[in-house]
Structure 1
Amino acid sequence: MGSTMTTLAPVLTKNWDQADSFTRTAYERNGGYQPLRKALGMEPSAIIDAVKDSGLRGRGGAGFPTGMKWGFLAQGTGKPTYLVVNADESEPGTCKDIPLMMADPHVLVEGVIISSYAIGAHQAFIYVRGEVLHVIRRLRQAVQEAYDAGYLGKDILGSGFDLDLVVHAGAGAYICGEETALLDSLEGFRGQPRLKPPFPAVAGLYGGPTVVNNVESIASVPAIVDRGADWFASMGTEKSKGFGIFSLSGHVTRPGQYEAPLGITLRELLEMAGGVREGHELKFWTPGGSSTPIFTAEHLDVPLDFESVGAAGSMLGTRALQIFDETTCVLRAVLRWTEFYAHESCGKCTPCREGTYWLKQMLKRLEAGQGSEEDLSTLNDIADNILGRSFCALGDGATSPIHSSIKYFREEYLEHFSHGGCPFDHAKSTKWGA
């Protein structure tokens, strides 16, 4: 079922164009913190039910139902429950959470307060990527404004509910976007994934029951409480409900954030973004950042929802649509991504630590035109030995560009051998391509 909606649904982005959108004054002027008042008058279980009924699925890439995740929390452990917001946006191509926190940090803060009330957490954390200092400052300012107004702290708005919220700056590692590595980092240890089970819902931060959610997931909660589960569920597709921010970058006329119902197609989004840059045509693209298998022009009409993208052989991921035209060498793009994964592998497990390094070395050789067709099966073979065998999803993500690029662009790989180098020589003369 394709989306017939080409009109955007600005919910999270509706106030981004206001000059003071990041202040509490502007947020309250636009109805902010009213959903919190409504939520505090509800039973916590009623909020969890509303989030379940809305069909909200995690906006961090995996698409797990948010309300169900909250429902898994271990009860009666005698330990405090924690809410942790994963704001360590590091996936190549992904750029939705950072603008959201810059333009409207209070929608996230309000989402944290409502979600914490729903799951019975009295301590919450927002774990932000350390490099984005401007975002950290803006969030901390928003948190302070919320404390000043009595939205955080003791006895919030006279409800008897207490909550403290800490904005924690990470130390700049892609692996810390993996939820258990994030928890280790938050506790002050080296960011490395934990063996699951136990899952964070049972033993997470400091061994207590913990919910880890993406920024966009938590920021969607106030609107669901305000307008109801049916309103949210009326958008999107049957199994992928609601709306999301689609980030278009690369060879596109108007790159940027496009908020639309799930199930919209790249063709529709490109129409709004002015198409591929003038004089060029689409060659390949990623539906959800570089960890998702690439698509080509034949996938322009695939509805961008979890099921349809999965059925077409990729993953919706974080809806980071990187657009590449015919001037791009696929092999070079895949090499750049692979260098990233080799650099960011935490080294805890052998398949990923060794495998990403091998992939990088092989691709470097192939890009230089050294090698033979046999190397393509070796590449696929190495990727097969990483996929599903590594400690966390970083290894799986690293195999996505390999498998998919060889599948769709085998000829281009072979051209490198027949040319004795990259056929896209004009790029070679630039410093970037050297």
Structure 2
Amino acid sequence: MTTLTPVLSKNWDRPDSFTLSAYREDGGYRALRTALGMQPDALVEMVKSSGLRGRGGAGFPTGMKWGFLPKDNPNPRYLVVNADESEPGTCKDIPLMLANPHSLVEGVAIASYAIKSNLAFIYVRGEVLHVIRRVRHAVAEAYEAGLLGKDVLGSGFDLDVVVHAGAGAYICGEETALLDSLEGYRGQPRLKPPFPAVAGLYASPTVVNNVESIASVPSIVANGTEWFTAMGTEKSAGFGFFSLSGHVTRPGQYEAPLGVTLRELLDMAGGVRAGHELKFWTPGGSSTPIFTAEHLDTPLDFESVGAAGSMLGTRALQIFDDTTCVVRAVGRWIQFYAHESCGKCTPCREGNFWMVQVLDRLENGQGTEADLDKLLDICDNLLGRSFCALGDGATSPVTSSIKYFRQEYIDHLEQGGCPFDHAKSTVWGGAR
């Protein structure tokens, strides 16, 4: 199946798509009414059966995560929505919250009922003030309509939703750092176990889900699991946003079944910009190993991308054409990770700092070929040895770029600097 499947993006062309009235015109909140007529455990089983996997990057089965909450814990249960979207190249949750925030609010209500939570938090990245206002407006509309608050739709279920503005730290996209931030502490990852399902927010059972994961739940309840599993692949069911950016003719959000290929998406997006060819691309943001043109026909599902040597991640497809210097691109990514490292663990704090120094030398033609082995050695001491996945992710562009473009690194050394004209790389390096 290669056609687009607009579900969450169905009404994005409506100027009032973000309003409660527009959302209800298209059947909004009917799924909530249906869910409130079901048993919570039946809802959890329904989401499990749908095969919905986390849309935030890791791809963990959503229903299974809900089912991990201990039944004998007397503490309150919490739902936390991770809307701290900050992975370079990722831009799906922000437009979703802008254009269709009620799909998220309805998903929060259904998920909270399923896990028996009476308090939910939506943690939004602090810099996107327009998104924070839009989501808070949607929550206010839902309260006024009796869709949140006391006795939701006369069901006897109570739910309060808090929209929390973060402080713009990349590390707070990591679920336990997000929880620390919500509690008022500095956002740093916690040691696991215990996992959030056992001791999360305020040391209570907590589910942390991505925006797109939660926003996908109402359509599953409304249309059934067979409808959802008819899209995608056997182990990667359903649809998702594929964010095309960079050197592509028509960048944007393409909502399609999992398993679609980049070649198919590029056909819909008008291809790589005129006069140029694809050089490399990221399947899931900058923290996933890069792919090249030889991977154009790799199905974009969790299993196929993993088998090809990368990760599906957030489906942030950054497209780089033949004008791009891979050494420069990787160097800028590592500068970002060095800046955003929380500093809690030595491998990430020191490893990213030193990789920036080495990559700067290489880009300026001042290093040696031994520096490539030094980079790989640093990555070896980062991967699997850092406190959270930030360190692991930072190794991905370095190791994969050396794997596919080792000669380009050497060209920098032999020519005494970068051989590329950055003014021609209009998106990623020079003037627009």
1:300 match: 296
Superposition deviation, residue 78 in structure 1 = 1.3
Q: Does 1:256 align with 2:249?
A: no
Residue 68 of structure 2: which of 51, 72, 84 is its match? 72
Give the match for residue 392 of structure 1.
388
Q: Distance in 1 between matches of 2:361 and 2:283?
A: 28
Deviation at 1:432, TM superposition (A): 5.3
- Residue in structure 1 matching 2:287, options 264, 267, 291: 291
Aligned pairs for 1:145-294 (under 5 A) are: 145-294=141-290
Select between 417-426 and 403-412 the one with higher mean Cα deviation: 417-426
Deviation at 1:227, TM superposition (A): 0.4
Counterpart position of 2:45: 49
- Counterpart among 126, 129, 132 of residue 125 in structure 2: 129
Letter in 1 for 2:163: V
Counterpart for residue 382 of structure 1: 378
Cα separation, 1, equivalents of 2:422 and 2:2: 38
User: What's the TM-score once normalised by structure 2's chain length?
Assistant: 0.98
Q: Structure 1: how far apart are the matches of 2:430 and 2:135?
A: 37
Could you say what the CA RMSD is over the residues aligned between the two structures, in angstroms? 1.3
Which portions of structure 1, spanning 4 or more consecutive aligned residues, are displaced by more than 6 angstroms?
A: 428-431
1:402 is aligned to: 398
1:190-235: CA deviation from partner (whole Å, max 9, x where unpaired): 0000000000000000000000000000000000000011110111
Residues 259, 426 of structure 1: alpha-carbon distance in 2 compared, 3 angstrom cutoff: closer
Letter in 1 for 2:230: S
Q: Taking structure 1 as reference, are residues 175 and 429 closer, same or farther at Cα in structure 2, changes over 3 Å only?
A: closer
2:82 is the counterpart of 1:86: yes
| CA displacement at 1:427 relative to structure 2 | 3.9
Query: 1:371 Cα deviation (Å)?
Result: 1.3
Secondary structure of the corresponding residue to residue 241 of structure 2: strand
- Taking a change above 3 Å as real, the CA distance of residues 103 and 236 of structure 1, as seen in their structure-2 partners, is same
Cα distance in structure 2, aligned partners of 1:264 and 1:85: 27
In 2, the alpha carbon distance for the partners of 1:344 and 1:92 equals: 12
Take 1:63 and 1:110, find their aligned partners in 2: how far apart are those partners?
22
Deviations 1:363-414 (A, max 9, x none): 0011000111111011000011000000000000000000000000000000
- Following superposition, the deviation at residue 426 of structure 1 comes to 4.7
Provide the rounded CA distance (Å) in 2 between the counterparts of 1:374 and 1:296: 25
Matched position secondary structure for 1:315: coil
Q: For residue 19 of structure 2, what is the aligned residue in structure 1?
A: 23
For 2:6, the equivalent position in structure 1 comes to 10
Find the residue that maps to 2:202 and give its secondary structure.
Answer: helix
Aligned partners of 1:418, 1:425: CA distance in 2, in Å? 17
- 1:175 Cα offset (Å): 0.2
Q: Which amino acid aligns with 1:66?
A: T
Could you say if the C-alpha distance between residues 227 and 375 of structure 1 is closer, same or farther in structure 2, counting changes exceeding 3 Å?
A: same
2:14 corresponds to which letter in structure 1?
Answer: Q
Whether the aligned pair in 1 keeps the contact of 2:288 and 2:310 (CA below 8 Å) is yes
Structure 2 equivalent of residue 346 of structure 1: 342
Distance 1:429 1:54 in 2: 42
- In 1, Cα distance between equivalents of 2:45 and 2:430: 52
Q: Distance in 2 between matches of 1:12 and 1:74?
A: 32
The residue aligned with 2:95 is: 99
Question: Contact 2:2–2:257 (CA<8 Å) still a contact in 1?
Answer: no
* Mapped partners of 2:243, 2:232: distance in 1: 17
2:309 to 294, 300, 313: 313
Whichever residue aligns with residue 272 of structure 2, its letter is V
Unpaired segments ≥5 residues, structure 1: none
Which letter does structure 2 place at the counterpart of 1:233? T
The percentage of counterpart residues that share the same residue type is: 80
Q: In the alignment, residue 297 of structure 1 is paired with which amino acid?
A: A
Q: Structure 1: how far apart are the matches of 2:425 and 2:154?
A: 66
AA at the equivalent of 1:281: E
Give the letter aligned to residue 23 of structure 2. Answer: Y
Q: Deviations over 1:126-147 (max 9, x none)?
A: 0000000000000000000000
Report SS of the residue matched to 1:202. helix
Q: Which amino acid aligns with 2:116?
A: G
Alpha-carbon distance between aligned partners in 1 of 2:56 and 2:121, rounded to the nearest angstrom: 16
1:7 is aligned with what amino acid?
Answer: T
Question: Unpaired runs of 5+ in structure 2?
Answer: none
Structure 2: distance between partners of 1:42 and 1:336: 50
Distance in 1, matches of 2:72 and 2:119, equals: 17
